[in-house]
Amino acid sequence: YVYLPLPGTVSDPWKLMLLDATFRAVQQTCHLIHYLRLSHHLIVLNYLICTFDKLKSVSSEDINITDAVFDGVEVRVFEPPAKGGEELKRSVVYIHGGGWALASARTSLYNNLCRIMAESLNAVVVSVEYRLVPEVCFPEQFHDALRATKHFLQPDVLAQYSVDPSRIAISGDSAGGNLAAAVCQQLSKDEHLTIRPKLQALIYPVLQAFDFNTPSYQQNMNMPVLPRYVMINYWIDYFNGNYDLAQSLLINNHTALDVGQALSFRGRLNWTSLLPSSFKKNYKPVIQTTGKAEIIQQIPALLDVRAVPLLAENETLRLQPKTYILTCENDVLRDDGVMYAKRLENAGVEVTLDHFDDCFHGCMIFTIWPTDFSAGIQTRNSYIKWLDENL
């Protein structure tokens, strides 16, 4: 693909282009290995990422870092030191991003983020190590995140970690934001739960696969680090679908007017009414009159709210806790977060939409040299500040 010039508002533009060029070169190598049938390209890519970036479970003087298993799911727990006479701590369950296929709670990027969260908030942070594509596909990532969270919410487990049951947040970025939103929706409907999250905090979350032509998808279709076609391929991988469907998905053939399965969801994702004019700009909706209903038949998960939380019914949205959503202007997923904020607000949920004009997808984890961006520090500080004030 060919890049469009980066907008002048992007912070650290040359560093971003260098990062993306490096990532693309690695991806091309992994796709070559996949083409030669030596291994799946995502397995190779994640192996390279984790080989160069994985940290051992080493406790520091300030934060105790341990690995545990919650109901069969691996987690990494970050605990601030106990202080004499201290009350119970607040806590954050964090779910990392990476297209449901990449990264780890153990990589330095997420290890560093969770350590700083634990220090800044004096909170216990539980980072979920869910299984990845292609080892497993939807709904297993959702099930892993849900099981780990529900295990942690048990009174005896919270007591073990000295956590205040009334001060727990669930959070995640990108695909982790998708899982956090889906898990939060499921927890809100579980009548057997006695403890539920006080807050949810979603960082540039991916929330829908219904419309790949929202204004942000059109505006940022060739934007590093997440071009539109890459996000579509992540969805296909997550659903164990066929790459041959990518072009049809790109032009919204799967949600055309003659696709009966999609009709009941159309009103829940009408960006012409959910987005402010500053985001709609001059973009026009892409709605096909005739499409391919067989796509939904092959991949019914495209309309499964456990995978696409933005399509949840209003009754579910009303049950959601106080919410923080961080979005970036230079991101195909910008409108996913903005539309979810509006739907939650319409349902009566208190929402903070924290939008950054000069930032890009994934920036919050890029705070360590050589991928240290001013956008990363800016977004991370704003996110932690909101948690500190509301948790």
Catalytic residues: 174, 331, 361
Report how far residue 185's alpha carbon sits from residue 178's, in angstroms, rounded to the nearest whole number.
11
Task: DSSP letter for 83, please.
Answer: -
- HSE at residue 4, side-chain half, CA atoms within 13 A, is 12
**Residue with structure tokens 């680090």?**
225
Question: How many CB atoms lie under 10 A from the CB of residue 357?
Answer: 11
Backbone torsions φ then ψ of 29, nearest 5 degrees? -65, -40
- HSE at residue 341, side-chain half, CA atoms within 13 A, is 22
The dihedral sign for the CA sequence 180, 183, 187, 193:
negative
The backbone region for 210, taken as left when phi is positive above 0, alpha when psi lies in -120 to 50, beta otherwise, is alpha
The backbone region for 162, taken as left when phi is positive above 0, alpha when psi lies in -120 to 50, beta otherwise, is left
Backbone torsions φ then ψ of 328, nearest 5 degrees? -125, 140
Q: The tokens of 276 are what?
A: 């402010």
Give Cβ neighbours of residue 133 (< 8 Å, ≥ 6 apart).
Answer: 42, 99, 100, 101, 141, 237, 238, 240
CB 359 within 8 A of CB 203: no
Which pairing describes strands 199-203 and 322-330: parallel, antiparallel, or unpaired?
parallel
